[in-house]
Amino acid sequence: MQSHLCKLLNIQYPIFQGAMAWVADADLASAVSNAGGLGIVGTGHDTPEIVAEKIADIKAKTTKPFGVNIMLLNPHVQEVVDVVCQSGVKVVTTGAGSPGKYMDKFKAAGIIVIPVVASVALARRMENDGADAIIVEGMEAGGHIGKSTTMALLPQVVDAVSVPVIAAGGIGDGRGMAAAYMLGASGIQVGTRFVVAKESNAHANFKQAILKAKDIDTVITGQLTGHPVRVLRNKLTREYLQAEKEETSKESPDFERLENMARGALRRAVVEGDKIRGSMMAGQIAGLISKEQTCHDIIQDYMRECSETIQKQIEYWSK
């Protein structure tokens, strides 16, 4: 199943690991890259010094291709871009905006740029700005999300751009991967399933919450503030949703109240293992995940199940 995307990135399998804050460190990303996928180091709001340390860390753990995710709302984004361009990184994914103003610098450094988008209009803009590929993320995903579903948005973006498109959000196994291929994707990005990988440093409590999750165990918070986030249900989400309801009824909502409730919640979940007041970001496919595996086994499962699913459909329709 070698694709143009695999040749572009020099990877064995068309599977990206999502740049999940506090989760996508060098240990996880290098394990994914060593298993043949594209591991991605998340940088969030890191300072340029921390980003340089993270890049050095993953370089010490893999000789395979890897990517670095740059959050464009990072107050240090200009300095982070400079560090990445000077470090020899070959692939950059971006979130929270357009990397257009940095595209010339990326290209001069020989970097492949792959933005994450949640709409057709933004996908077109990214291609016009010089993106080499596009990650389409639907609202089934964990963490910050848009308004469209992956399966509805994906074929529309595929029709709108000429660069490879990577599907993200709601792809929990090889069957979902096969569906993404049928809709025109060149690859997939996986988040939640890699959170519970054996090489993931996410707290055991967070992993267990995902492994025990059912199909209806995620909710969306932050819709009032305009920054919706999909997370697993817990005491924090119940209190937050109640607060959102109360603030919605006011003429002047107290956004600071909501921000204070969410501040530091992701770290509490991922690092401290707080299942009560932590923000356990996870996708709707959490109910599909029932075991902790190595990154190698996860990728192999995706590829095997995808191939088997496609083959079964070919046999069915050829009867």
Q: Which domains does the chain have, with CATH numbers?
A: 4-202+289-317 (3.20.20.70), 214-281 (no CATH)
Q: What is the pLDDT of residue 226?
A: 82
Q: What is the pLDDT of residue 89?
A: 94
Q: What is the pLDDT of residue 2?
A: 59
184 torsion bin: left (phi>0), alpha (psi -120 to 50), beta (else): left
Phi, psi of 96, deg, nearest 5: 65, 50
- Residues whose CB is less than 8 angstroms from the CB of residue 191 and which lie 6 or more positions away in sequence, other chains included: 17, 18, 20, 141, 142, 143, 168, 283
Residue where the block lists tokens 């992701």: 266
Report how far residue 52's alpha carbon sits from residue 82's, in angstroms, rounded to the nearest whole number. 10
Q: What is the pLDDT of residue 1?
A: 54
Q: How far is CA 211 from CA 143, 206, 207, 252, 283, in A?
A: 17, 9, 6, 40, 12
Report how far residue 186's alpha carbon sits from residue 27's, in angstroms, rounded to the nearest whole number. 26
Q: Do β-strands 229-232 and 143-144 pair in parallel, antiparallel, or remain unpaired?
A: antiparallel
Whole-structure pTM value:
0.90
Helix axes 26-34, 48-59, angle to 10 degrees: 40
Q: Please calculate the CA angle 311-315-319 and round it to the nearest 5 degrees.
A: 170
What string of pLDDT tens digits covers the 319 residues of the chain? 557 899 999 999 999 999 998 899 999 999 999 999 999 999 988 999 999 999 999 999 999 999 999 998 888 999 999 999 999 999 999 988 788 889 999 999 999 999 999 899 999 999 999 999 999 999 999 988 888 999 999 999 999 999 999 999 999 999 999 999 999 999 999 999 999 999 999 999 999 999 999 999 999 998 888 889 999 999 999 999 999 999 888 888 888 898 888 889 999 999 999 999 999 999 999 999 999 999 999 999 999 999 999 998 888 888 7
**Number of Cβ atoms within 10 Å of the Cβ of 271:** 16
Q: How far is CA 34 from CA 26, 166, 269, in A?
A: 12, 20, 27
E strand segments, the chain:
15-17, 39-42, 66-71, 91-95, 112-117, 134-137, 143-144, 165-168, 187-190, 218-221, 229-232
> Would you give the DSSP letter of residue 287?
G
Letter string b/e over residues 143-157, b meaning 16 or more CB atoms within 10 A of that residue's CB = bbbbebebbebbbeb
> Would you give the DSSP letter of residue 103?
H
